[in-house]
Structures are given as C-alpha cells and as structure tokens.
C-alpha cells in the first residue's frame, strides 16, 4: 500500500485548493459538453495531453480506449442525465499494450484466466490505432442508443507517444437522425 500513501497526501493538497462548492453540487454537466474515451495506460492521461481541468469533460478509460456496450451505456447515461447532446472524442494511442491481444498464445492464456472469449479479445487489440479509431467511431455512429438526440458529434484521434501530438483521424461527424 506504499503507492497509495503519497497519493492520499496529494489528495489533502487537492482538498485544500479545490472549489468545494463545485464538488458539493449534484452531478455536474461537463463544461465542454464533451466525453473523452481513451486508454487506461498511465502514459495516456487526458488531463496532461489535452490540458483538461476538473469539470471540462467526462472521461471514460478502459484497456485500449475501445468502444463496447458499457462505454455506450455510460455515454447515453451522461447525455440523458443532463438532457443535452454531447460531443464524443475517441482517442487511441501508439504503442498500446492491448496489442498483446493479437498474440495467439498471450490471448489464449488470458482467455483461459479471464473466461472471456478468444474472438472478443482479438477484436480488442489495438495494433493499428488509426484503424481501431475508425472502427470505434463507426460503432458509435451506428448505434441506435447513441443517436442524434444524445450525441452532437463523434471524432476520432490518435495520440502519438513518440511525439506527444494528437492527430485527427476522423473529423467531427454527426450521428444519423433518430427516426421514430
């Protein structure tokens, strides 16, 4: 638990300087009406590479920053909770550790341990972030759950760890209109 001790000390510093009125409010709408989906890799911290501050955006993180049912549910919940249309930025990165899921031996061992299916794990691998970002943006745009009444626009980007720069792969696209 030594790793958490320093972080708890940092929390005391945070509590001393944060606007407690903002934290005490019921769930707060992100200032930028933006949801960022990215990887849980510790090198990929959206506050750092996008300059986000508390309250700027809703941030969802998972292995690879991939779109799955849980991510779509979370985005829909946030938009419905506040009754606003949100922008969604999908950001994958180079040198992603989920690339290991492309290795059949690693994937099989992980599938055995986790009980997850081999094919599903293979689909989560980010070996080419340009391709996976395009796939994930298309998945959001094709979802009836995240139609135009909840989502204003979806964009896709790649954080290049070699340079620290974010490249736009898919410019902002509005989802299809919701048909009754």
Confirm or deny that 39 is annotated as ligand binding: yes
For 140, other C-beta atoms within 10 Å of its C-beta total 21
Confirm or deny that 41 is annotated as ligand binding: yes
Confirm or deny that 128 is annotated as ligand binding: no
Binding-site residue ranges for Zn(2+): 39, 41, 93, 96
Q: Please give the annotated binding residues, written as ranges.
A: 39, 41, 93, 96
């Amino acid at each position: 638990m030594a790793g958490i001790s320093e972080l708890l000390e940092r929390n005391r510093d945070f509590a001393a300087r944060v606007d407690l009125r903002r934290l005490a409010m019921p769930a707060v709408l992100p200032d930028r009406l933006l949801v960022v989906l990215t990887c849980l890799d510790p090198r990929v911290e959206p506050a750092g590479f996008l300059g986000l501050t508390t309250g700027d955006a809703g941030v969802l993180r998972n292995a690879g920053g991939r779109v799955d049912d849980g991510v779509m549910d979370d985005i829909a919940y946030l938009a419905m909770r506040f009754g606003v249309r949100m922008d969604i930025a999908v950001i994958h990165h180079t040198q992603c550790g989920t690339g290991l899921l492309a290795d059949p031996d690693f994937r099989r061992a992980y599938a055995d341990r986790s009980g997850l299916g081999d094919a599903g794990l293979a689909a989560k691998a980010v070996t080419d972030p340009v391709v996976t970002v395009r796939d994930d943006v298309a998945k959001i745009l094709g979802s009836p759950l995240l139609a135009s009444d909840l989502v204003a626009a979806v964009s896709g980007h790649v954080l290049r760890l070699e340079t620290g720069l974010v490249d736009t792969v898919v410019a902002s696209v509005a989802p299809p209109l919701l048909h009754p």
